[in-house]
Amino acid sequence: MTSNIHTLPVLHPVAGLRLGTTRAGIKQPDRRDLVVIELCDGATVAAVFTRNAFCAAPVIVAREHRAQTSPQYLLINTGNANAGTGKQGMADALACCDAVAQAAGCAREAVLPFSTGVISEPLQVTAICDAVPAALAALDENGWADAAHGILTTDTVPKGISRKLEIESHKVTITGIAKGSGMIRPDMATMLAYIATDASVPQNVLQACLARAMNKSFNRITVDGDTSTNDACLLMATGQSAATVDQTEGDTFDALCAAVADVCEQLALAVVRDGEGATKLITVAVEGGRDEAECLQVAYTIAHSPLVKTAFFASDPNWGRILAAVGRAGLMNLDINAIELYLDDVCLARDGGRAPDYREESGQQVMDKTDITVRVVLNRGDAMAQIWTCDLSYDYVRINAEYRS
């Protein structure tokens, strides 16, 4: 765990939304592992889900239910992903939705299920259904902190953030929680994230806001390059504030998007800082590309290199590993003599080789930090892109080797 992870900040309630958390005993008997989120009438929901072809049963059900009606309840369990479970997994996800619908007095389709945990094991349906009444009884607008704990798996700390702003003189609150530590390279979502605002926002506008925020936050992080079967991120608007954002352009939309993007970025960074076994947060910035796509191609090649990641864990300024990753990123007609490579502000390489003024002790000073920026200047265009990753430690192997034990 990196040294910059802190305890949860104050998570402000969002009018029109309540959260209830309980212990269902899904994997561990005394762990908070079941969360219900209740939305008021008229609330809108934007969502993005994993594009992993082997997506989990709850992802399929949540997509289908959201297309059929306005969600009233979210049901989130940890300890079991209900993925790779075939037809039985679908039936189990629906059974859990039925349990909420019957206890809360709503339609099954108004319940969206979410699961996280071990893949390919049968869901503990009875335990979840039996615990639903307790989760509903615990519903509280101040339930964010308990819910942040209740959605964790291998995370070492809960992750949450709140922001307050004004839109056209009306006060607006945005609060979000997320979980994620391993199996992190989101593809349209993160492991699990739930963000809410009390602004009044139509669903199409809310979806556009979420898409803009995702592309510079959750979709720019990677711990290990693995996209989960269960990734999901929801942005909910309860409409309880007098602030209204009803267009996908203009000052009010930009203000909302900026605040949501800030919340998403802070949650995304918290996920990387809490990467399984991580000790360092690494920013990889690539500049001077022909387009953003090739900048991201270089950035992810660096971020996913086990040699690069282990060098950061060892605090070893073995920058040749970074240079090698740039060279194998697959860019056409790459002029190696034009590339500049930096650790923070220390230039490591230029003109095709080691920078004449580079000194090993300067590189070591940077590598000894817990927050480090790798900057690659391609000098072949005006595009740029930035992502965040972490190092690869002994503990990553241990955590994943012992995941089912």
Active site residue 190: yes
CB 158 within 8 A of CB 78: no
Distance between CA atoms of residues 96 and 74, nearest Å: 11
Q: CB count, 10 Å around CB of 39?
A: 23
Residue 351 CB neighbours (<10 A): 12
Joined tokens for residue 146: 């308990």
Cβ contacts of residue 139 below 8 Å, gap of 6+? 18, 19, 20, 36, 38
Distance CA 185, CA 275 (A): 11
Please answer whether residues 156 and 274 qualify as being in contact, where contact means their C-beta atoms are separated by less than 8 angstroms: yes
CA 144, chain centre distance (Å):
17
Catalytic choice (190, 227, 279, 301): 190
Question: Minimal CA–CA distance to 111: which of 47, 143, 64, 78?
Answer: 64
Q: What angle do CA 376, 379, 385 make, to 5 degrees?
A: 50
Backbone angles phi, psi at 143, to 5 degrees: -85, 10
Please identify which residue in the block is written with the tokens 């893949």: 119
Residues known to be catalytic = 190
